Structure 1
Amino acid sequence: MSHAFPPAPIPSVPIVGRAERFPVHRIYCVGRNYEEHAKEMGFTGREPPFFFMKPADAVVAVEPGQTGELPYPSLTANLHHEIELVVAIGQGGKNIKAADALRHIYGYAVGLDMTRRDLQNDMKKQGRPWCIGKGFDASAPIGPITPAAQAGDVARAAIWLQVNGTDRQRSTVAQLIWNIAETIEHLSAAWELQPGDLIYTGTPEGVGAVVRGDLLEGGVDGLGTLRLRVV
């Protein structure tokens, strides 16, 4: 097969302890999946889960032990951080039951769902899609993927983010409204999951703005730390 021009390289993420990399297929994100974050965004209760997507090449893959660079995006004056547990899918499937979901997981990582909050809010007010607020270039930073067998008790792990050494977000994965297995069940009813898919599972309370020069450092216990400088 020939192409009109050379295809873009496949986005990929490093894997802890391995030379090979995790090729990214799609990025799914779960909205308002921690109760306290839902409240700070003006919502309450256990609403049905909903999803949005980011382009695969929105990934900013930070190598182990490194500090990545996060370019401040255009068109916004209110760039927000959202620290998240990321689930990496290794075995695809459709209509996956929650009881079977964990065997579809390759591993886990620490990620950031960066958000142009002002643009997102404008689109919400107009009743329009808010892809421009969520799916922009470099909007999905991620650290190395830890294989599931090495990740420990992810479902109860602490999750946290500091900006310039000061706490912004701190919670536990146990506070998810829809847990990892339930999220996979709902997501796979709408899309056939594929190896290489990443699921950003939601963010706890404490989201806020960052500016150029800020150092973001966040983690999920057992999965290491993600460090980024906004440039």
Structure 2
Amino acid sequence: MKILGIGKNYVINLDDIKANKENPKLIFSKPESSLSVNRDIDYPSITNQLVYEVELVIKIGKEGKNIPVAEANSYISEIAVGIDYTAKDVLNEARSHKHAWDLAKGFDGAAPISTFKSINDFTDLSNINFSLKINNQQVQAGNTGHMIHNFAEIINYVSAYMTLQPGDLIFTGTPPEGIGENKKGDHLQCFVEEELWLDFKIN
């Protein structure tokens, strides 16, 4: 199973989507051991800057290579919501030496996600609302209509480089406002269309 992520994929103003379409796409990966499904996580000992980003996560349902945009959404079987965690201090150190991001993005617990729901539960993939509350205060909110590269375009792009297989997961980007750091004891709740999907604490 592959776990991939796309960075810098949301805009605040819809007018900015067109201007950013041709920018290089930022793709990274996380190991399977970073997953945490609907359970509390421990604050990682390798960082003092645990940065959260709420994202929708798509699951691939069938194998595909060089998937056309027009067909790409048919390769999605389910959707979840999750947090893409970054050890920001580890990332800054890696960047200073022009090293890869793996350790900053791939530590244990770096990918908490909800259980998945069928793609058939969604009537419009370009209009899905999702949000994050920390300690009962909303800190991030987004809508898939503000994506620079939508689900189909992400699948099309990634599948040009690697075969996508059933069970592969793709974190599809985070709203640019409200990203911040978590502390021990924080309580996170992720919502999709105002329904609570993911609920966990940081020990």
TM-score with structure 2 setting the length:
0.91
User: Equivalents in 1 of 2:118, 2:142: separation in Å?
Assistant: 23
Deviation of the 1:154 alpha carbon: 3.3
Aligned residues: 195
Quick one: higher RCO (CA 8 Å, sep 6+), 1 or 2?
2
1:107/1:145 contact within 8 Å kept = yes
In 2 relative to 1, CA 224–147 (structure 1 residues): closer, same or farther, beyond 3 Å?
farther
2:144: which partner in 1?
173
2:184/2:202 contact within 8 Å kept = yes
In 2 relative to 1, CA 96–222 (structure 1 residues): closer, same or farther, beyond 3 Å?
farther
* 1:130-145 alignment, distance < 5 Å: 130-145=101-116
Amino acid at match of 1:116: A
Q: Larger C-alpha radius of gyration, 1 or 2?
A: 1
Matched, 1:209 2:185: no
Deviation of the 1:222 alpha carbon: 7.5
1:155: which partner in 2?
126
TM-score with structure 1 setting the length:
0.80
Deviation of the 1:140 alpha carbon: 0.8
1:228: which partner in 2?
200
| Structure 2: gaps (5+ residues) | 13-18
Which moves more between the two structures, 210-219 or 144-153? 144-153
Matched, 1:82 2:53: yes
Deviation of the 1:114 alpha carbon: 0.9
In 2 relative to 1, CA 223–55 (structure 1 residues): closer, same or farther, beyond 3 Å?
farther
2:15: which partner in 1?
none
2:189/2:196 contact within 8 Å kept = no
Amino acid at match of 1:145: F
Q: What RMSD in Å do the two structures reach over aligned CA positions? A: 1.5
Matched, 1:34 2:10: yes
2:16: which partner in 1?
none
Deviation of the 1:153 alpha carbon: 2.5
* Identity, % of aligned positions: 36
User: Equivalents in 2 of 1:191, 1:179: separation in Å?
Assistant: 18
3-state SS of the aligned residue for 1:118? helix
2:7/2:27 contact within 8 Å kept = yes
User: Equivalents in 2 of 1:49, 1:181: separation in Å?
Assistant: 14
User: Equivalents in 2 of 1:88, 1:130: separation in Å?
Assistant: 23
Q: 2:80 aligns with which of 98, 103, 109?
A: 109
3-state SS of the aligned residue for 1:199? strand
1:107/1:151 contact within 8 Å kept = no
